[in-house]
């Protein structure tokens, strides 16, 4: 019969594809993928970062694991989660881009969340060129564990919640380029607003660490800059 093989049907194949789509059909599961794109984390850390209780976070992570999007390792009693591959990060980034282009509600929701301001932005190439000449300070405002997991070479780490108290650590006359997790990360927006209000020259990278990694640009890990 047309559409049949000795092992199954087209419907079974497409149902298998749909399993992946179902796993992505939750805003919180997408948020967990966003966090895991920054590096490996325990269930406890993911639950705290996503504002979930442990039971709910574990259930979402199990759904993602069953779909093959995340993998785990055990360290004693702790279970650490990570993305199953770079292709998962690429899928997540593409899903956001397609949604913004084709869903009318997304741009309005994006602007309501990130806030609108007049801050300039720079591309990867512009940032690398300016950083190489010492023309700018590159500032990573993500949580410190994300910085340790991987950051733009030469970036200074000051988590956004510490920035007001540590602004004196940044040179006063040099422009600051701020980045965080990705194109939809509010941390960089908040940091630029704070720096600007304090009289500093600050601009944003036009996306963030997720896109930087996917572009296969250099990444450092470990010690603070």
**Structure-block tokens of residue 189:** 């927006």
Annotated catalytic residue, options 64, 127, 180, 205: 180
CB of 213 closer than 8 Å to CB of 65: no
Q: What is the CA radius of gyration of the chain?
A: 20
CB of 154 closer than 8 Å to CB of 225: yes
The helix (H) or strand (E) run that includes residue 137 is strand 136-140
Q: Which residues contact 65 (CB under 8 A, 6 or more apart)?
A: 71, 72, 81
CB of 151 closer than 8 Å to CB of 220: yes
Count how many residues are written for the chain: 225
The reply to whether 185 belongs to the active site is no
Question: What is the residue-wise DSSP string for 20-36?
Answer: HHHHT--HHHHHHHHHH
Distance CA 81, CA 151 (A): 19
**Structure-block tokens of residue 148:** 């340790």
State how far Cα 49 lies from the chain centre: 12
Active-site positions read 180
């Amino acid at each position: 019969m047309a559409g049949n093989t000795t092992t199954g049907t087209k419907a079974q194949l497409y149902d298998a594809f749909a399993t992946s789509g179902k796993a992505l059909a939750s805003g919180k599961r997408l948020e967990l993928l966003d966090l895991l794109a920054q590096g490996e984390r325990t269930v406890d850390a993911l639950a705290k970062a996503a504002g979930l209780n442990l039971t709910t976070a574990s259930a979402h992570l199990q759904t993602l694991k069953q779909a093959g999007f995340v993998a785990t390792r055990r360290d004693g009693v702790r279970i650490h989660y990570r993305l199953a591959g770079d292709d998962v990060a690429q899928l997540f980034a593409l899903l956001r881009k397609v949604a913004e282009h084709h869903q009318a509600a997304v741009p309005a929701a994006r602007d309501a969340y990130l806030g609108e301001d007049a801050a300039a932005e720079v591309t990867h190439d512009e940032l690398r060129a300016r950083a190489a000449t010492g023309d700018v300070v590159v500032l990573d405002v993500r949580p410190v564990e994300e910085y340790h997991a991987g950051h733009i070479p030469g970036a200074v780490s000051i988590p956004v919640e510490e920035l007001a108290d540590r602004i004196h650590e940044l040179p006063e006359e040099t422009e600051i380029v701020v980045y965080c997790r990705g194109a939809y990360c509010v941390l960089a927006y908040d940091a630029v607003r704070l720096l600007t209000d304090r009289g500093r020259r600050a601009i944003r990278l036009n996306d963030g660490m997720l896109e930087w990694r996917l572009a296969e640009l250099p990444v450092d890990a470990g010690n603070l800059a």
